[in-house]
Amino acid sequence: MKKSDVLVIGSNMIDLMTYIKRMPVAGETVEADEFSMGFGGKGANQAVAAARLGSQVSLISMVGEDSFGEQQLANFKAANIDVTGVGIGRKNSGAAPIFVDPSADNRILIVKGANSELTPAVLDTHLDLIQNTKLIVLQQEIPLETNYHAIDLANQYGVPILLNPAPANRHLDMEHVRRVDFFSPNETELATLTGLPTTSMDEISRAAQRLVDMGVKNVLVTIGSRGVLWVSASTSQLIDAVKVDAVDTTGAGDSFIGSFSHYFAQGETIPQALRHANEYAAITVTRRGTQKSYPTAKEVAKMYQPS
């Protein structure tokens, strides 16, 4: 079979977006400014971002046998994502109520639904996809055991792995984390995983170094408007973010992971891929929505001079 550039193993959700002035307190009803539905889920978001940039992307995921599942499959196909690894589960499709405040910050709930049925046994039915890719991308909206099995298989076949530990789980098995090539938390997830404070850049750097000291190869800490910190045994570099006026940060981290995966799979060095991923994510936060905010390669080219 033809080799993909990026294989994403992960979740998909229907995003239920509500734009609010403030969150209501218990027992209170508050009128919201706007509501919209869109496609989301960390795995799906990352797959779509890479595909929009032109990568050949395959996805292993689970949808429900419902209208949301049908819409998800149609969305993947429209994005030119290979869906041979997308199965239909017994539970409803995953959903994510999202609340966005005037400062563009978001609060997200997730209902995993069929995503919880993406088990290690499912991966064993798609070994051809796992063997024939340049990079495997994982997150944590699916069972941890599935991610561990994916890491085992990727190591067996010599395929590089990126693990985005979101949402964070403090019980994450570090033995498996040591065997991924890229480990990319945000600063909040980094604090949960290390038990260290991550308020200042010095604290973030120390926490990332703690992971490297534990054997993690490359730690990529996304820090919102401050950029991304890359720490390994031989380097510690802050790649500054592009300064923009954000209107909605929902899905920005996923756009970063997906675009970094694309650029790395296309042969860019780690610093080049990080810089270009920062540029990509900067565009997404100037638009509302999740996947619908993700630009194509042509749109990115219009925004930035080639470098």
Known binder of ligand: residue 45?
A: yes
The two three-digit tokens of residue 208, written as one number: 């990332």
Q: Is 287 annotated as a binding residue?
A: yes
Q: Is 80 annotated as a binding residue?
A: no
Instruction: Tell the burial category of 289 from Cβ atoms under 10 Å away from its Cβ (0-12, 13-18, 19+).
Output: buried
Catalytic residue among 5, 181, 245, 254: 254
DSSP state of 207: H
Q: Is 15 annotated as a binding residue?
A: yes
307 annotated ligand binder: no
Instruction: Report which secondary-structure segment, H or E, holds 221.
Output: strand 218-222
Tell me if 84 is assigned to a ligand binding site: no
CB 5 within 8 A of CB 133: yes
What token pair was written down for 2?
Answer: 């033809």
Q: Say which DSSP state 35 is in.
A: E
- 194 marked as part of a ligand binding site: no
Q: Is 103 annotated as a binding residue?
A: no
Alpha-helical regions (H) of 23-143: 42-52, 67-78, 120-124, 127-131
128 among annotated binding-site residues: no
Query: Known catalytic residue: 254?
Result: yes
The answer to whether 293 is a known ligand-binding residue is yes
- Asked whether the beta carbons of 148 and 173 are under 8 A apart, the reply is yes
CB-based contact 161:135 (threshold 8 Å): yes
Binding-site residue ranges:
13-15, 41-45, 141, 186, 222-227, 248, 250, 253-254, 278, 284, 287, 289, 293
Which residues are identified as catalytic?
254
Binding-site residue ranges for ATP:
186, 222-227, 253-254, 278
Binding-site residue ranges for K(+):
248, 250, 284, 287, 289, 293
Binding-site residue ranges for substrate:
13-15, 41-45, 141, 254
